[in-house]
Structure 1
Amino acid sequence: MRVATSTLYQQGLASMNLQQSSLLHIQQQLGTGRKVLTPSDDPVAATRALGVTQANAINDQYTTSRNQANISLGMEENTLSTVTTVTQNIQTLLVQAGNGTMSDVDRASLATALKGQYEQLLGLANADDGNGQYLFGGTLSGSAPFVQGGGSVQYIGNTEQQQYQVDVARQMPAGSNGREVFQSVQGSAGYVLKGNSTNTGSATYGQVSTTDPTNPLYGTPLTLTFDDSSGSMQYTITDPSGNPVGGTPVAYSDPAQISAAGITFTVKGTPKSGDTISMQPASQAGTDMFANLKSVIDALDAPVHSGADSANLDNVIATGIRQFSNSLDNVLTVRSSVGSRMQELDALDTIGTNRGLNYSETLSGLQDLDYASAITQYYQRQTALQGAQQSFMQIQGMNLFKYL
């Protein structure tokens, strides 16, 4: 069989190129530490590695979202901690205001102190994150959620919450809106008593307690009205429609323990005919911390000239104490919710970290190079290339022209 010289050259060159290409491929593997450099190296491993890489990138994004949510919740927790302290300070001042030996000057001094707490509370309600984003504005976080005007504070934020996708199937609210914190009470708050500012008698009430929450009328707003048209002082309790609760009027004696709709409270003093006391569920008795505090401040600023003035002041203070007790419970409940979300984020971080480790381990198994095997193959390919080169040189020497 005759073999052309050109064929010998072509085959020799092809053999050397093949060996050199194989050697270069292994060199690239050693340089990158990856055994799959192109999808053609291992199509199945390349496809799986792409899916795992994408899943790992999504997991990293969840980690970033959790960090952002944790920062937001941490700032809210710090603010709510101060709100708790301010609310407790207000309660302390209200208890002091209930001291019957205080003069108008003393009460005015307490009113001034409460005004300071009012301004501090308003500042906390408009707290931001340092980047101009307000904590309690809901999704309208670009402007202050509480505005003061006309002697009152209005909430202009919304009741929606900013959501963070913190895991595959978990969206977490990263904050609380202002209405939820400063203008709400818990459903278990019970009743609040309120006196009528037009009362002319000296009747005062104590704190209300719940005795039977299963009572059919529990949760219904009621009104207690005093009347002496029969010749002796009596009182009647009516529902919102004006229907008497409990039948006929009841004779009043000082002090009187009054029970209705599953609640009990004590009334002392001397009421006048037409005086009223309202009994309202906490959610209907004024839940705005700013409005409730302003009512107490206004009452303390007003001079006391008569027994009726003193009784009305005592009733306003008693109502304020009850309202701020409910507000404190609400703030503590919101703080508890924030704390539970932060705890959940910690648990999700642990899960996310373990998931990331699993992804990394899977990617390592699919992509990482076995250096011992690769180095062995490198020397094998190097030897094969040298053999191809030497054999080509020997075949090239098989030429009759050199004998001429």
Structure 2
Amino acid sequence: MRVSMMNMYSQNLQSMQNLTSDVARVNQQMATGKSILRPSDDPIGMAKVITTQRDLASTSQYLQNTESLSTSLDRSETYLSSMTNLQMRMREITIGANNGALSPEDRAAYAAELSELLESFVDVVNAKDDGGNYLFSGNETGTAPIGIDADGNYFYQGDDGHREVQISGSAWMKGNVTAQEFLFSSGGTDILNQTKQFIDVLNDPDLSPGDDDFRQAAEDMLATLDDSLASISGAITDIGGKQNALSLMQTTHTERILFSEEVIGETEGLDYAQATAEFNLKLTTLQVTQQSFVQVSQLSLFNHM
């Protein structure tokens, strides 16, 4: 009888412990909203969740990269468009100044406006981002792209580096354009120094539109403007193409993120209705088992004599 009672006692105690563990497990599942709390709950499901979470993390990073790159390119495009607008006014002045009816004072007024436009142009090329980094200096982001030498001439003082940004598992995209590319790559005089030279011509009272030197200076100015405008327009077009590609990539990444989240939810997500029913059943069973345990623990050999 003693062995039988001990067996009953042990069985009730083990059953109560198991039920207590089950109640705690279901309660934790309901608190976290997850059906898989540890790998042993569902090894295959857990492996699937871990793999999907890894893919979700990398895709989220790629999406963040594309958004950051798109913002940077948009900022660069804005400044490039400003350069275009400034040069269009420079072109109007160059054409207007090449008029024999203008007085030296009129040409000097044009020269003064060109000087202001040139200063504004340099300021735009030397633009910075929100972090204080120069946009058009290549990898020399702490150095202004345009400097002035001892002779007063403009020169490029950045490098030709491009920052590569990973936008997917297998794709990278250049994230910047340099002032060297769109201002100093034609082989001739750049628009900055060409404008400076034309300003000197306009300020020279001994030169007028009828002179060969004046005519040549005006022609050189227009030709350089055309080259510069074409180069900057090409940079803007390139940015537009990149923005289109980034937009498509962002859509792909967003859809993949939603899919991954759905897979994770379906794999480890908890069916609350089923969990609630299981919790109530386990809890009721535990209460019954506890009552039985109390009765069993009070029994002795004399109760059966």
- TM-score when normalising by structure 2: 0.92
Q: Distance in 2 between matches of 1:156 and 1:39?
A: 58
Q: Which residue of structure 2 aligns with residue 230 of structure 1?
A: none
Matched, 1:338 2:204: no
- Partner deviation per Cα, 1:73-124 (whole Å, 9 max, x = no partner): 1211111111011000000000012112223232222222211111111111
Q: Distance in 2 between matches of 1:320 and 1:306?
A: 15
Q: 2:250 aligns with which of 349, 374, 383?
A: 349
Structure 1 residues 292 and 305: alpha-carbon distance in aligned structure 2, compared to 1, 3 A threshold: closer
Q: Distance in 2 between matches of 1:37 and 1:339?
A: 47
Q: Which residue of structure 2 aligns with residue 222 of structure 1?
A: none
AA in 1 matched with 2:239: V
Q: Which residue of structure 2 aligns with residue 300 of structure 1?
A: 202
Q: Distance in 2 between matches of 1:361 and 1:306?
A: 75
Q: Which gives a bigger RCO, structure 1 or 2 (Cα 8 Å, sep 6+)? A: 2
Q: Distance in 1 between matches of 2:265 and 2:113?
A: 65
Q: How does 1:241-252 map to 2 (within 5 A)?
A: none
Secondary structure (helix, strand or coil) at the match of 1:378 reads: helix
Gaps of at least 5 residues in structure 1 are: 185-282
Q: Which residue of structure 2 aligns with residue 264 of structure 1?
A: none
8 Å CA contact 2:207, 2:214 repeated in 1? no
- Partner deviation per Cα, 1:256-305 (whole Å, 9 max, x = no partner): xxxxxxxxxxxxxxxxxxxxxxxxxxx34x15111221221222222336
8 Å CA contact 2:191, 2:228 repeated in 1? yes
Secondary structure (helix, strand or coil) at the match of 1:161 reads: coil
Structure 1 residues 342 and 104: alpha-carbon distance in aligned structure 2, compared to 1, 3 A threshold: same
8 Å CA contact 1:125, 1:182 repeated in 2? no
- Comparing 143-152 with 85-94, which one deviates more in the overlay? 143-152
- TM-score when normalising by structure 1: 0.71
Q: Which has a greater percent of helix?
A: 2
8 Å CA contact 1:72, 1:174 repeated in 2? yes
AA in 1 matched with 2:170: A
Secondary structure (helix, strand or coil) at the match of 1:167 reads: coil
Structure 1 residues 342 and 37: alpha-carbon distance in aligned structure 2, compared to 1, 3 A threshold: same
Q: How does 1:290-329 map to 2 (within 5 A)?
A: 290-304=192-206, 310-329=211-230
Q: Distance in 1 between matches of 2:267 and 2:229?
A: 57
8 Å CA contact 1:304, 1:310 repeated in 2? no
Aligned length in residues:
304
8 Å CA contact 2:63, 2:253 repeated in 1? yes
Q: Which residue of structure 1 aligns with residue 161 of structure 2?
A: 160
Q: Distance in 2 between matches of 1:76 and 1:306?
A: 39
- Comparing 359-368 with 64-73, which one deviates more in the overlay? 64-73
Q: Which residue of structure 1 aligns with residue 107 of structure 2?
A: 107
Q: Distance in 1 between matches of 2:87 and 2:159?
A: 23
Q: Distance in 2 between matches of 1:107 and 1:383?
A: 99
Q: Distance in 1 between matches of 2:245 and 2:304?
A: 90
Q: 1:369 aligns with which of 270, 275, 280?
A: 270
Q: Distance in 2 between matches of 1:400 and 1:325?
A: 111
Q: Distance in 1 between matches of 2:87 and 2:146?
A: 18
How far is the alpha carbon of 1:7 from its aligned partner? 3.4
Matched, 1:45 2:45: yes
Q: Distance in 1 between matches of 2:112 and 2:24?
A: 85
Q: Which residue of structure 1 aligns with residue 127 of structure 2?
A: 127
How far is the alpha carbon of 1:403 from its aligned partner? 7.4
Q: Distance in 2 between matches of 1:128 and 1:395?
A: 81
- Comparing 392-401 with 157-166, which one deviates more in the overlay? 392-401
Q: Distance in 1 between matches of 2:265 and 2:280?
A: 24
- Partner deviation per Cα, 1:339-359 (whole Å, 9 max, x = no partner): 221222221111111011000
8 Å CA contact 1:287, 1:327 repeated in 2? no
Matched, 1:401 2:302: yes
Q: Distance in 1 between matches of 2:25 and 2:11?
A: 21
Q: Which has a greater percent of strand?
A: 1
Q: Which residue of structure 1 aligns with residue 285 of structure 2?
A: 384
Q: Which residue of structure 1 aligns with residue 148 of structure 2?
A: 148
Secondary structure (helix, strand or coil) at the match of 1:20 reads: helix
AA in 2 matched with 1:102: L
8 Å CA contact 2:165, 2:172 repeated in 1? yes
- Partner deviation per Cα, 1:226-266 (whole Å, 9 max, x = no partner): xxxxxxxxxxxxxxxxxxxxxxxxxxxxxxxxxxxxxxxxx
Q: Distance in 1 between matches of 2:116 and 2:266?
A: 65
8 Å CA contact 1:63, 1:349 repeated in 2? yes
Q: Distance in 1 between matches of 2:303 and 2:284?
A: 29
Q: Distance in 2 between matches of 1:60 and 1:342?
A: 18
How far is the alpha carbon of 1:156 from its aligned partner? 0.7
Q: Distance in 1 between matches of 2:130 and 2:301?
A: 91
Gaps of at least 5 residues in structure 2 are: none
Q: Hey, which bits of structure 1, 4+ residues long, moved more than 6 A?
A: none
Quick one: percent identity of the two aligned structures?
Answer: 30
8 Å CA contact 2:137, 2:159 repeated in 1? yes
Matched, 1:288 2:288: no
